[in-house]
Amino acid sequence: MLKNYLLDLHPFSFSVKTDLPQVIQNLSTIYGKQLIQNFEESADYQLSVKKSSGIRSFIRPQAQFFCDQLEPFKPLSFQKAYAFLEWGMNWTVAANELQHVIIHSAVLAKGNKAILFPAPPGSGKSTLTAYLAHNGWRLFSDEMALIVPLTKTVIPFVRPICLKNQSIDIAKNLFPHGKFSDIAKDTHKGDVIHLSPPELSWDNQVTPAELVAVVFPNYRANQDLQIYQLDKTQAFMQLVDNAINYGMLRDVAFKTLSNIIDGVKTFEIFHNNLQDVADFLQQEIIENA
Amino acid sequence: MHDISADLVIRVYVSPESATKFTFNQWQNLVLILRHQQLLACYSARFKQTFFFERIPTRIQRHFLNADILATNHKMQVKYEAAELTRDLSDQGGELIFLKGAGYTLANAAVGEGRIYNDIDLLTDKESIEGVEKKMRLLGWLSQELTSHDEKYYRKWAHEIPPLRHGKRGTIVDIHHNIVPLISGRQIQPSLFMQQSVKTPEGFQVLSAPAMTLHSLIHLFFNEEVKKGYRDLIDIHTLMMSNNNKEFWLGLIRLAKETGFGLELFLACRYCHRFLGTQIPDYAENAIAQFRPWNIAFLDFIYTNTLQPNHPICQPKFFGLAEFLVLLRGHFQKMPLHILIYHLFTKSGVAIMQMLFGKHVFTKQLDQP
């Protein structure tokens, strides 16, 4: 039986239909009271995660993801169904929303001062995100920074943090009381787990903040904290590369990103200690901004 | 729960005022239906024209504004691709006419406003098509993987070659050498259409308004697919209303007669008028009445059910049956019986396998998001 849920995640709402118990269970672990059951109304986007039909419903069962009537991806094995839904939500926003300049980046804030952390997979971005979120920072998003066009204002879109491979054990050790999803094994990103951010982030999920810095983090096991100031051109180009809807918003996106780069500090950091990074961010950026 | 009917969706297009008392849920459902039909930007333009846009709830406006940006981008993309194609293929000698959506946009016609494109359709003469295809492959346009049956279908029976996709930009181009499939036996002279082409101020070849309209309605009524039927009907309505003069109507009727698509013209006028209130001048209506078919009751059944907005939320009761009948009718029109049986047999074999083994049994490699 398909059950209908509402995920009211500022600034977008999703209705989720699913017949898979593990999806429901993970949703309620991760989203807690954000998840509303037996919902009959429409949301911004209607998503569903369903069992494949036919023989594939009992031999090596697969899960299919739909955004309304559209099936943007090929099915995945059952056990990845919840991660599939999370990626599907990212896809839905990336494919439809053009009211914000969207940057593939983590965003965290202290008070109303926010820092952007764009970084490629494997750079330790999500581990850093999880660490900061559990140490007094407010998580806006681990994946998508929503910037109000032509401003430095960033809008929260609070979602779980997606941790991969070795970071899974690290995170489970660091945050023994964290709300973790099941592990999705052998995805295109390796093993993947989702971690719900602490209450502070959820409680402030409609409160925007102003960007004060862009930091490109890199984890290096054998390197103590090193900080480089990035020149504006490099930083701008890196932001462009990470801006999901740059091609669609064109001049608006260009102006927004150049305005950000002009008005914030830009750093690239190499580190092997999360607390060192947290101290640097607090002392050099937040307290000086 | 679904407090919106197909009829209501149409009424909102015809007179946006009908949405004055919409609940938030009705708006959400309208957005869902329109997104599915790729009509968000089209309705958005209509709301703006009639100064209704401001009265839409802000959270709902967002969806229309998103669609506007998307449509503006598609328009730019189409103009860019068309300029590239026109330049790259200028040495091929033959005709190069932009059809359907791309044609509407390049002609700067009202019907091109707020369109979302899936592909760019080109018409060229049969003699040039081989050269065009070769040149395009050289320039990075690749054909998608096809089953051998589909490949044969295109090469032997269709009026186009398999679609080409640009390796980098992802744009898809369909190259036609005729308006209808070769195998249909309706051997119309493509030159009848080509003679009707005009050059836009920007230097693109497109069809004249009557030929553009006729092609649009042939595409809807001489076809086995009506998934986007409602959108196509709005296109035809817009083409007719934005060219509503005697020269247009007489040209359209003459061309329909010459090419043997009078029935399709009759049906287009009938359903445009019925659903969208298209005002067809009396002289045109009288002239078109000669094309009235004997089986109009049957056609009314299938088209009144399938030309309405199509989404599970608002599907008419007999939609499934009517859609199946359109499929049958379309195939019968296009193919002689022995080929039709072979084609359907191959296609249904695939469908049965998919039913048994899941939709993706023939999908070659599992892509992951």
Tens of pLDDT, residue by residue over A112-126, are 999 999 988 788 899
pLDDT of A219: 92
- Phi and psi at A170, nearest 5°, equal -55, -50
Q: In what order do the strands lie in the sheet with A12-18?
A: A35-37, A3-9, A12-18, A45-51, A62-67, A76-77
Distance CA B188, CA B255 (A): 11
Q: How confident is the model at residue B271 (pLDDT cuts 50, 70, 90)?
A: very high
If one compares A89 and B328, the residue with the highest pLDDT of the two is A89
Q: Does an H or E element contain B135, and which?
A: helix B126-138
- Does position B369 have pLDDT exceeding 50, yes or no? no
Question: Which one-letter DSSP state was computed for residue A137?
Answer: P
Contact status of B368 with chain A (Cβ, < 8 Å): yes
* Cβ-Cβ contacts under 8 Å, B354 against chain A: 54
Task: Please answer yes or no on whether A43 and B35 come within 8 Å at the CB atom.
Answer: no
- Does position A31 have pLDDT exceeding 60, yes or no? yes
Tens of pLDDT, residue by residue over A179-204, are 999 988 888 888 999 999 999 999 99
Which SS3 state, helix, strand or coil, does residue A149 take? coil
Give the start-to-end residue ranges of the domains of chain B.
6-357
Task: Please answer yes or no on whether B70 and A248 come within 8 Å at the CB atom.
Answer: yes
- Does position A213 have pLDDT exceeding 90, yes or no? yes
Are β-strands A3-9 and A35-37 bridged in parallel, bridged antiparallel, or unpaired? antiparallel
If one compares B8 and A10, the residue with the highest pLDDT of the two is B8
Question: Which one-letter DSSP state was computed for residue A176?
Answer: T
Task: Please answer yes or no on whether B73 and A248 come within 8 Å at the CB atom.
Answer: yes
pLDDT of A200: 92
Contacts of A258 (CB under 8 A, 6+ apart): A236
- Does position B342 have pLDDT exceeding 50, yes or no? yes
Kindly report each contact of residues B79-85 with a partner whose C-beta sits within 8 Å and lies 24 or more positions away, as own/partner.
B79/B105, B79/B106, B79/B202, B81/B120, B81/B166, B81/B169, B81/B171, B81/B173, B82/B106, B82/B120, B82/B204, B83/B202, B83/B204, B85/B120, B85/B122, B85/B173
In B115-196, beta strands by DSSP E: 120-123, 141-143, 164-166, 172-176
According to the per-residue pLDDT averaged within each range, which of A196-200, B88-92, B125-129, B140-144 is highest? A196-200
- Does position B338 have pLDDT exceeding 80, yes or no? no
- Does position A61 have pLDDT exceeding 60, yes or no? yes
CA distances from B184 to A149, B55, B66 (A): 53, 49, 41
- Does position B10 have pLDDT exceeding 70, yes or no? yes
What letter represents residue B142's amino acid? L
* Cβ-Cβ contacts under 8 Å, B61 against chain A: none
**Mean pLDDT value of segment B154-181:** 82
| Complex-level ipTM | 0.88
Alpha helices in chain A (DSSP H): 21-31, 81-96, 125-133, 166-174, 199-203, 232-242, 246-263, 274-280
- Does position B361 have pLDDT exceeding 60, yes or no? no
CATH architecture of B6-357: 2-Layer Sandwich (3.30)
Q: Best residue in A74, A84, A90, A101 to probe B by mutation, most B CBs within 10 Å? A: A74
DSSP B217-266: HHHHHSSS--TTHHHHHHHHHHHHHHT-SHHHHHHHHHHHHHHT-HHHHH
Measured between CB atoms, which of B28, B70, B359 is closest to A43?
Answer: B28
Reported pTM: 0.88
Q: How confident is the model at residue A250 (pLDDT cuts 50, 70, 90)?
A: very high
What's the mean per-residue pLDDT of chain A?
A: 91
pLDDT of A232: 92
In B100-219, beta strands by DSSP E: 120-123, 141-143, 164-166, 172-176, 197-199, 205-207
Q: How confident is the model at residue B368 (pLDDT cuts 50, 70, 90)?
A: very low
Euclidean distance between the first and the last CA atom of chain A, given in angstroms as a whole number: 53
Task: Please answer yes or no on whether B366 and A76 come within 8 Å at the CB atom.
Answer: yes
Contact status of B32 with chain A (Cβ, < 8 Å): yes
- Does position B141 have pLDDT exceeding 70, yes or no? yes
pLDDT of A217: 93
**Comparing A196-200, A237-241, B226-230, which segment has the lowest mean pLDDT?**
B226-230
If one compares B142 and B190, the residue with the highest pLDDT of the two is B142
Contact status of B170 with chain A (Cβ, < 8 Å): no
- Does position B364 have pLDDT exceeding 60, yes or no? no
**Mean pLDDT value of segment B315-335:** 81
Contact between residue A159 and residue A223 where contact means Cβ atoms under 8 Å apart: no
